[in-house]
Amino acid sequence: MAFFTHQIRRGFSSSAVRSLVIKHVTIIGGGQMGAGIAQVAASTGHTVALVDTSDDILKKSIKAIEGSLKRVAKKKFADKPEAGEEFIQKVLSNLTTSTDDTAAIQHTDLVLEAIVENLKIKQDLFGRLDKLAPAHTIFASNTSSLRISEIASSTNRLDRFGGLHFFNPVPMMKLVEVVGTSSTSQETFDSLLNFGKVLGKTPVSCKDTPGFIVNRLLVPYNMEAIRLHERGHGSKEDIDIAMKLGAGYPMGPFELADYVGLDVIKFIMDGWNALEPDNPLFAQSELLNKLVAEGKYGRKTGEGFYKYK
């Protein structure tokens, strides 16, 4: 796109559609999501600094990225293993890791946060980095359930703050929700949309409302399936079969809940329930609360609605 060739590095372009070309990305949080986003950004020619709290965690993040890249290379370069190895090395050469977030953001175009889902911790992080990051740098959060405007409120760059909500596993999932608050500038929003496209994703525009689009529809659907079962209207197996065969969904709601994590679903619902206690879509489920209290979070703990070996 000509538009990109006319962009000014680390500054907003003067073309009709003003937006920042994001070349250097700092990702804070090297867990499931952060590592996936780092991999995709490095694979699409960005230089990426991946930040976490310890070298041990970062070693695990790089190991996960290498494993994923091997699978990508095996598919992409099935008949040319050397080209596959070259691809892996090229991507890894775009990646650095650090436990020092203030050093990592010195020359960055985008700070994308994928740390623990806790408002106060996210606010503290951005509030601190806001004072140290270059003026042009855009801040974005990958939060699933918190308001972007509340996270951004600890900074003085409300116009350069937005949401980039990726889906797990990031290298496989094609969607990114791009979230603008009432203060996000058009330039910032366009920059984030373009960044999503350059990553090879399909971006959709979202308002800063709970759950954006996908989770706002999916989580209440999941909860209603659980409550349907609690009311004795169907076994979980039958509800899963019904939604797979009747609605063409690849997973039933109980299988999906176990995949996402019952703790994650409960955490999201508790937050929305606190915001809108009278909304029946956000009503509690005793069964879900019980499973979470027993540490049965789904696939990741070996048991949720179903058992996993």
Ligand X SMILES: NC(=O)c1ccc[n+]([C@@H]2O[C@H](COP(=O)([O-])OP(=O)(O)OC[C@H]3O[C@@H](n4cnc5c(N)ncnc54)[C@H](O)[C@@H]3O)[C@@H](O)[C@H]2O)c1
Q: By the criterion CB under 6 A, which residues form the site for ligand X?
A: 28-34, 51-53, 57, 114-117, 125, 142-144, 165-168
Q: Is 66 a catalytic site residue?
A: no
Task: Find the radius of gyration of the CA atoms of the chain.
Answer: 20
Of 166 and 305, CB closest to ligand X: 166
Active site residue 215: yes
**Residue of 98, 141, 144, 191 marked active site:** 144
**Which amino acid does the sequence have at 194?**
N
Residue 165 falls in the annotated catalytic set: yes
Annotated binding residues for CoA, as ranges? 68, 75, 144
Give the residue at shortest CB distance from ligand X: 31
Return contacts of 290-298, CB within 8 angstroms, 24+ apart.
Answer: 291/262, 292/262, 292/263, 292/266, 296/262, 297/261, 297/262, 297/263, 298/257, 298/258, 298/259, 298/260, 298/261, 298/262
Q: How far is the CB of 144 from ligand X (least distance, A)?
A: 4
Q: Which is nearer to ligand X, 143 or 285 (CB)?
A: 143
Nearer to ligand X, 142 or 185 (CB): 142
Which amino acids are annotated as binding site for NAD(+), given as ranges? 29-34, 52, 117, 122, 144, 168, 300
Note if 177 is an active site residue.
Answer: yes
Per the rule left: phi > 0, alpha: psi between -120 and 50, beta: everything else, 262 is alpha
What is the helix (H) or strand (E) element at residue 76, kind and residue range?
Answer: helix 55-76
Q: Least Å distance between CB 66 and ligand X?
A: 17
For the bound state, the minimum distance from the C-beta of residue 264 to ligand X, rounded and expressed in Å, comes to 7
Q: Which residues of 233-245 are buried (b: 16+ CB within 10 A; e: fewer)?
A: eeebeebbeebee
Q: Which is nearer to ligand X, 64 or 283 (CB)?
A: 64
Residues annotated catalytic, as ranges: 144, 165, 177, 215
